[in-house]
A and B are shown apart, each in its own frame.
Chain A
């Protein structure tokens, strides 16, 4: 079991970036296409954004789409890098499934936390989307996990970690919404 978890983490780490917003703040990002990173919109500022790979290599990252309602942002890298993490539609994920969150909580690089998919919660948004369905997890999240992937045990991303409520509930944006956002990128 330990070996399986270790192998799983090793498999996904090349798909997880650190995203710097040019003002000292940073979070995580998920490689969605070879040159596209998905992260949280609340990380972004007006400054220059950079993305650091696990190798330490740093790339300039340009925001292409920012959706404040979904708290998602799509960044473009100057050239294709590595292989993206496969995506799973969370609607096929049963409640109680094991999930892993990979991110950089409190600045700790590539930290992993384990939990289960706790179920769906709804959030009312002021925008035209109205009610959103979000993933809830009991995997421990902290500042720095924002923008990082929530993964199933096969290493597929099911959500983008976004926030912590009450210190012990993690909220993630469903991966299908991120996928729909990425598809809107002009070719």
Chain B
């Protein structure tokens, strides 16, 4: 009996080492900053996906798992999800295998990184939480994110989080929220696909600041439907699509393209992808009357963001590099 138990333990240990070896085959070193290099994963034979914040210079050196060195250029970046896609000269990057199953809380996972020439690094933990919905800087939106209790060693950003079969559940980064987070693999792959196609992820831009407010019965009557909340417009950027469309501070946004909008996230979600550059109809309450306004959705540009966000760029280099989510502890702000 004890003998069998012992074999079970050995089998688990060997399975984990096997998983690490499988994940390690597609985990590369990304050397593009002064201090310790970081990690990246193979997305295609000539493409490496990594964390955007670890790219601090133009010349990027990639070290493949077998030790061969390659030079690379960044062909796209999405600061909103802290991902960057690199094109590797002379290709032959092994491609990461991704997990089919959804991540589950309590599942055993391993984080991998290859920041040094000493080979792969790994650490063990469990998925602590699968968070639903995270607003990220520059108008980004992740429908879910993964938090683990895995030790993220220095240089683990850009490396994969794998299950015990060696398949990737996500890409780790500490540059998104100030604490280590894992971007789910489906989000990461979707961003990588957009970056490979056009070098960026399109996100719509209206130029309004809003907050969710409850609607009074009279306002609901004006709408002609029961809707508990709307988005009160508290600020409008000059010359923005919202200003050109005639929206005003004090209007309450209640619907976007015929679909009701109650939370800021509802609007963020609708402003992704194809809607950029198109004319859309939004419904607003001005006082107690309902109006429909046509706007042409703009595209978020980083140049504009640099002006607005003091965190990166900005005057005096920005007072704080990282954006913090509301639940981040006070000492990390």
Cβ-based interface call for A95 (8 A) = yes
Contact mask A60-83 → B, CB, 8 Å, 1/0? Answer: 000000000000000000000000
Number of residues in A with C-beta < 8 Å to the partner? Answer: 27
Contact of A3 among B5, B10, B20 (CB under 8 A): B5
State how many angstroms separate the Cβ of B134 from the closest Cβ of chain A.
24
Q: Is B13 an interface residue (CB 8 A)?
A: yes
A153 CB, nearest partner CB in chain B, Å:
5
Tell whether, in the assembled complex, residue A119 and residue B124 are in contact, meaning their CB atoms are under 8 Å apart: no
Q: Assess whether B121 is in contact with A97, with CB atoms less than 8 Å apart.
A: no
**Residues of chain B contacted by A136 (CB below 8 angstroms):** 121, 153
Give the complex CA separation of A8 and B2 in angstroms.
10
A138, CB-defined interface residue at 8 Å? yes
| Tally of contacts, chain A with chain B, CB under 8 A | 90
Q: Which A residues lie within 8 Å of B6 (CB)?
A: 4, 7-8, 153-154
- Contact call B17/A94, Cβ cutoff below 8 A: yes
Give chain B residues whose Cβ lies under 8 Å from the Cβ of A109.
Answer: none
Q: Is A5's CB within 8 Å of the partner chain B?
A: yes
Q: Known: A153-B10, A169-B153. Is A95-B5 also a contact (CB below 8 A)?
A: no
Q: Which residues of B contact A181 (CB under 8 A)?
A: none
Q: CA of A122 to CA of B116 in the docked complex: distance in angstroms?
A: 9
Q: Is the CB of B20 within 8 A of A95?
A: yes
Q: Pick from A7, A96, A154: contact of B19, CB below 8 A.
A: A96
B116 and A116 contacting across the interface, CB-CB below 8 Å:
no
Task: Answer whether residue B92 sits at the interface, using C-beta atoms and an 8 A cutoff.
Answer: no
Given A95-B17, A169-B153, answer yes or no on A4-B8 (Cβ-Cβ < 8 Å): yes
List A residues 134-163 near B (Cβ within 8 Å): 136, 138, 152-154
Distance between Cα atoms of A1 and B9 in the complex (Å): 6
B314 contacts the other chain (CB 8 A): no
- Residue among B6, B18, B125 with max Cβ neighbours from chain A (10 Å): B6
Report the Cα distance A94→B17, complex, angstroms: 6
Which residues of chain A in 93-125 are interfacial with respect to chain B, using CB atoms and an 8 Å cutoff? 94-98, 115-122
A133 interface residue (CB < 8 Å to B)? yes
A136, B155: Cα distance in complex, Å: 14
Candidates B5, B118, B125; contact of A120 at CB < 8 Å: B118
Besides A118-B121, A168-B151, A169-B153, 16 other A-B contacts (C-beta < 8 A)? A1-B12, A4-B5, A5-B9, A7-B5, A8-B6, A94-B17, A95-B20, A95-B119, A96-B122, A97-B16, A115-B123, A116-B16, A117-B122, A118-B153, A121-B116, A153-B9
Q: Which residues of A contact B (CB under 8 A)?
A: 1, 3-5, 7-8, 94-98, 115-122, 133, 136, 138, 152-154, 168-169
Cross-chain pairs A/B with CB under 8 angstroms, 30 sampled: A1-B5, A1-B8, A4-B9, A5-B9, A7-B2, A7-B5, A7-B6, A8-B6, A94-B21, A95-B24, A95-B119, A95-B120, A95-B122, A96-B21, A96-B110, A96-B124, A97-B16, A97-B17, A98-B9, A98-B13, A116-B16, A118-B123, A119-B122, A121-B118, A122-B118, A136-B153, A138-B125, A153-B6, A154-B6, A169-B153
